[in-house]
Every structure is written in structure tokens, then in C-alpha cells.
């Protein structure tokens, strides 16, 4: 019996500490008399959802939101799931402030999740991870799609260095040809018919 009482007190202590640590007071903040023995809640305490509107016991009217849930309405019967990315953590009375830590970026318009920021030479995949640019493509910018290497150099230029994941094929100007270096000879064998 003593053990049970001890465990029960321990449980009550821990749960009250939890509520204190989350800063949420449970219950109805404002109520009015209804009939001879009932009262009705007009406004739950911040971070509480409405469970029962009227009854004899005002402590039963409102309950704090479950962990990772919040409400901004004083009379809402339910709490909303907190948005899942954090610059400022969700509390029982305000939603998460969104944005992503350095090195991460928002994964969608509403920033409901963060993804790794892809580096130069990488691109984001539909599976929300970064991968190295595949052979034949490059990316010289962060967090964007890889682009194919140029297929040829502009006229008057020649390939200087092949591309890699982070840079395109590089071209350089060909020095103006001078006559002495561009002599090419064409050897043609002409078959002889008959005897010599």
C-alpha cells in the first residue's frame, strides 16, 4: 500500500513538473454560471483545448495540448500538429517558427521540412537527398540541378580541360595558325598499270 502511494505521488510530481516545464497551466480561464449547479467555460487557458463546455467541475473543461501539438484558439476542441522544422520551437500556444539551420534549406514552400543543402558538384534528388552530378553533367552552383557538359567548343577554340562534377568542359582559343606550322601533305599512291 505504501509503495502504491509512493509511486502515485511520484507520478503526480513528475506530471506536474512536466506541465510546469512546458509552461502550460491546465484548465478553463473564464467561465459563467449555467443553471443552478453547472458552469460553462468561455475561454480555455492558453495551450488548452476544450473538452467539455459545461458541467459542475471547471477543472474538467480544458486540457493542455499533447506534446508537439498547439492551439491558438481559446475554444478549439482540438490541437494542431506542430510544423516540423525549427528555428523557434513550437510551444503549446504558438506554432513553430519556420526556417532551417545553416547547411539545410526548406524542403517545400511552407517549409514543413528541411533538407540538406546540396553543394557545388551535387544536385537534390526527389528522395530529398543530395547526389553527385552523374558523369557528363556538372553543377557550379549550390542546390540546383546538374547541367550537361557543353558538347563542343565555339569556333576558333579547342578543348582545354574535360569537365567534372563541378565544372563544364573548358575551352581555350586556338593560336592564330601561321603558314609554317600548318603544312600538311597528302600522299597519294597512284597505282601503275603495266610494266616499268
Q: Please write down the HEC assignment for all residues of 94-128.
A: ECCECCCCCCEEECCCCCCCEEECCCCCEEECCCC
Q: How many other CB atoms are there within 10 angstroms of residue 162's CB atom?
A: 10
Provide, rounded to whole angstroms, the least separation between the CB of residue 161 and ligand NAG: 4
Provide, rounded to whole angstroms, the least separation between the CB of residue 136 and ligand NAG: 14
Partners of 114 in the β-ladder: 106
If we measure between CA atoms, which residue out of 76, 70, 106 comes closest to residue 89?
70
Q: How many other CB atoms are there within 10 angstroms of residue 115's CB atom?
A: 19
> 93 or 167: whose CB is closer to ligand NAG?
167
Is the separation of the CB atoms in 84 and 107 below 8 Å?
A: no
**Alpha carbons 39 and 57: distance in angstroms, whole number:** 8
Q: Is 43 in the site for ligand NAG (CB under 6 A)?
A: no
Provide, rounded to whole angstroms, the least separation between the CB of residue 121 and ligand NAG: 7
> 115 or 122: whose CB is closer to ligand NAG?
122
Provide, rounded to whole angstroms, the least separation between the CB of residue 151 and ligand NAG: 17
Residues 3-42 binding ligand NAG (CB under 6 A) are none
Count of residues that interact with ligand NAG, criterion CB under 6 A: 5
> 137 or 170: whose CB is closer to ligand NAG?
170
> 100 or 133: whose CB is closer to ligand NAG?
133
Provide, rounded to whole angstroms, the least separation between the CB of residue 164 and ligand NAG: 4
Residues 137-176 binding ligand NAG (CB under 6 A) are 161, 164, 166-167, 170
Q: What stretch of H or E contains 18?
A: helix 2-22
Q: Write out the residues near ligand NAG by the rule CB under 6 A.
A: 161, 164, 166-167, 170
Amino acid at each position: 500500500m505504501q509503495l502504491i502511494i509512493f509511486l502515485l505521488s511520484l507520478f503526480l510530481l513528475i506530471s506536474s513538473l512536466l506541465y510546469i516545464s512546458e509552461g502550460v497551466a491546465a484548465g478553463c480561464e473564464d467561465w459563467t454560471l449555467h443553471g443552478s449547479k453547472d458552469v460553462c467555460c468561455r475561454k480555455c487557458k492558453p495551450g488548452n483545448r476544450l473538452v467539455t463546455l459545461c458541467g459542475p467541475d471547471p477543472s474538467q473543461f480544458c486540457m493542455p495540448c499533447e506534446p508537439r501539438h498547439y492551439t491558438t484558439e481559446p475554444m478549439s476542441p482540438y490541437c494542431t500538429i506542430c510544423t516540423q522544422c525549427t528555428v523557434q520551437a513550437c510551444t503549446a500556444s504558438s506554432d513553430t517558427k519556420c526556417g532551417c539551420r545553416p547547411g539545410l534549406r526548406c524542403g517545400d514552400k511552407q517549409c514543413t521540412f528541411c533538407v540538406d543543402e546540396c553543394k557545388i558538384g551535387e544536385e537534390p534528388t526527389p528522395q530529398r537527398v543530395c547526389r553527385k552530378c552523374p558523369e557528363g553533367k556538372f553543377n557550379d552552383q549550390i542546390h540546383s540541378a546538374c547541367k550537361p557538359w557543353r558538347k563542343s567548343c565555339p569556333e576558333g577554340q579547342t578543348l582545354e580541360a574535360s569537365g567534372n562534377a563541378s565544372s563544364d568542359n573548358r575551352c581555350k582559343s586556338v593560336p592564330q595558325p601561321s603558314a609554317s606550322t600548318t603544312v600538311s601533305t597528302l600522299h597519294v599512291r597512284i597505282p601503275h598499270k603495266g610494266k616499268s
